[in-house]
Amino acid sequence: MTRTLITSALPYINGVKHLGNLVGSQLPSDVYARYCRAIGHEVMYICATDEHGTPAELAAKKAGQGVEEFCTQMHEVQAELARGFRLSFDHFGRSSSPQNHKLTQYFAGRLAENGLIEEVSEKQVYSNTDGRYLPDRYIEGECPNCGFADARGDQCENCTKQLDPTDLINPRSAISGSTDLEVRETKHLYLRQSKLRDTLDKWISTREGWPVLTTSIAKKWLHDGDGLQDRGITRDLDWGVPVKRGTQEWDGMQGKVFYVWFDAPIEYIAATAEWAEANGHEPAEWQRWWCTDKGADDVNYVQFMGKDNVPFHTLSFPATIMGADDNWKLVDYIKSFNYLNYDGGQFSTSKGRGVFMNQALDILPSDYWRWWLLSNVPESSDSEFTWESFQSGVNKDLADVLGNFVSRITKFCRSKFGEEVPAGGVYGAAEQAVIDQINARLASYNANMAAMEVRKSAADLRAIWAIGNEYLQAAAPWSLFKTDPEASAAIVRFALNLIPLYAALSQPFIPDAAQTMGEAMNVDLSWPQDAAEALQTLTAGHSFSVPEVMFAKISDDARDEMESRFAGV
């Protein structure tokens, strides 16, 4: 049995995520996980909340809560939203877990043993107003590269250039806004990534079929300027994984924590350990996914993420894994995504601009959002959410094509033959043509799903739905029933058999609708290997029920109201 390990980039704990965050990793990874399970893979699908670092502390302060209390609350909020969008994680963990503390400290100890950790005295910004050192994300200012006014001390979100806090022009504290800052000397630990530059370069060059977006970002960080730089892995913060060498104290590092970028990817491993413990498994059960000397050598490991996370997953996390030199599984494929923009601009929490996950589920069921987002996923370039496009996708694809087909054929059968699959008549050339068309599209669908080409897969799925609509329209069993009820019965029987086929194929994209179709047809769903075989699932006399309206259309008035509501200030 093929074994597939899938990880989705960890969402920050600092608030509810918007639709762009959702489609940038979690939704596409869920589609792939559902597909892999459907075709018989053993799947481990992992995600977690990223709970350390500046965003957590700042968000907790704004909420008037202690950071631990805030993170516990927000983890459950994000877990509930994940369930609402039907994200089928095997485990949704927390980077603040005891398992991640232990593993992060273990990796740091191994890296130190292998000469890949260096203690560095550096100058760091201290805020006299706040009475503390300011880690990079606590400092904001003007980017020296592009002039963006709100660049952070680690990276400019506008031009993506990696920065040091002291690079910023007119810096200010992100806590208090104070400009009463001074530079003091402090000690931190650095991961000597530069020593692994050639190893990483060679490894990336051997990765076959990776998206151009992924490899181009990695190569840029490896070769531009002075090449791959050593990077600090500790910070002066209260909240985080305490700095230790394995289980031992680290002299001179008391009171410091590991930097969030270092511990967050390790949570992929830790979350799998959390899963094992939560389900009463021995450590060998999670180790078989991650330790190549314990069975993980035959695992296909795929990561999903937005392009802003690519440098850490192509360079820094692999450097941690390689540097530990301890039989850990490296990623086999990284699927990266561009950005989803919102109606001519960007999503903005502060301005109330755009739709966030909790708001989306309050408006419409998850399938509506899943379908539009996945059929417009920003793979080759940035894409843009507009209410007109969303309305069109829901109305034309879901309501007019799939929903209309299911409604027409089940209601017609009920009115003329009852709620049982009718007997009589034989299939002919028209039915064989449908089988041939679906088999051709099914081959394309499987190939695109296996290749993680999400938009192409969505187009294949819609085309398969459309084949049934076109067949039903041309065959017109309602007209034929008047003169040849047996021939009409054969058409109805054939068309009804398309519903469980559609349900099975639709599960990765619109799982609730797929379940509705499967339950209405009174069958267990299985991935079809061949259309001819699949279209014999329902035999004469098989009972079914007529589902309620599967997809309600979005009216122009409703579209305009939503567009106005989420336009922001």
Each residue's pLDDT tens digit, 250-289: 999 998 999 999 999 999 999 999 999 999 999 999 999 9
Question: Residue 84: what pLDDT?
Answer: 98
The annotated binding site for ATP is made up of: 349
Q: Which CATH number fits domain 384-534: 3.30.200.20, 1.10.730.10, 3.40.50.620, 3.30.300.30?
A: 1.10.730.10
Q: Does domain 117-197+208-232 have CATH number 2.170.220.10?
A: yes
Report percent pLDDT > 90 for the chain: 87
CA 409 to CA 17: how far, in whole Å? 39
The annotated binding site is made up of: 143, 146, 156, 159, 349
The annotated binding site for Zn(2+) is made up of: 143, 146, 156, 159
CA 225 to CA 63: how far, in whole Å? 41
Q: Per-domain residue ranges for the chain?
A: 3-111+261-366, 117-197+208-232, 384-534
Query: 348 falls in which pLDDT band (50, 70, 90)?
Result: confident
Residues sharing a CB contact under 8 Å with residue 223, sequence separation 6 or more, in sequence order: none
Is there a common fold for 3-111+261-366 and 117-197+208-232?
no
What tens digit of pLDDT does each residue of 294-343 get?
999 999 999 999 999 999 999 999 999 999 999 999 999 999 999 999 99
Would you state the structure tokens that stand for residue 473, as one six-digit string?
A: 């329209």
Question: Residue 342: what pLDDT?
Answer: 95
Q: What's 106-149 look like in SS3?
A: HHHHHHHHCCCEEEEEEEEEEECCCCEECCHHHEEEECCCCCCC
- DSSP assignment, residue 546? P
CA 180 to CA 153: how far, in whole Å? 16
What tens digit of pLDDT does each residue of 444-502 get?
999 999 999 999 999 999 999 999 999 999 999 999 999 999 999 999 999 999 999 99
Question: Residue 130: what pLDDT?
Answer: 87
CA 33 to CA 41: how far, in whole Å? 9
Q: What is the pTM of this model?
A: 0.93
Would you state the structure tokens that stand for residue 184, as one six-digit string?
A: 């003091």
Q: Does domain 3-111+261-366 have CATH number 3.40.50.620?
A: yes
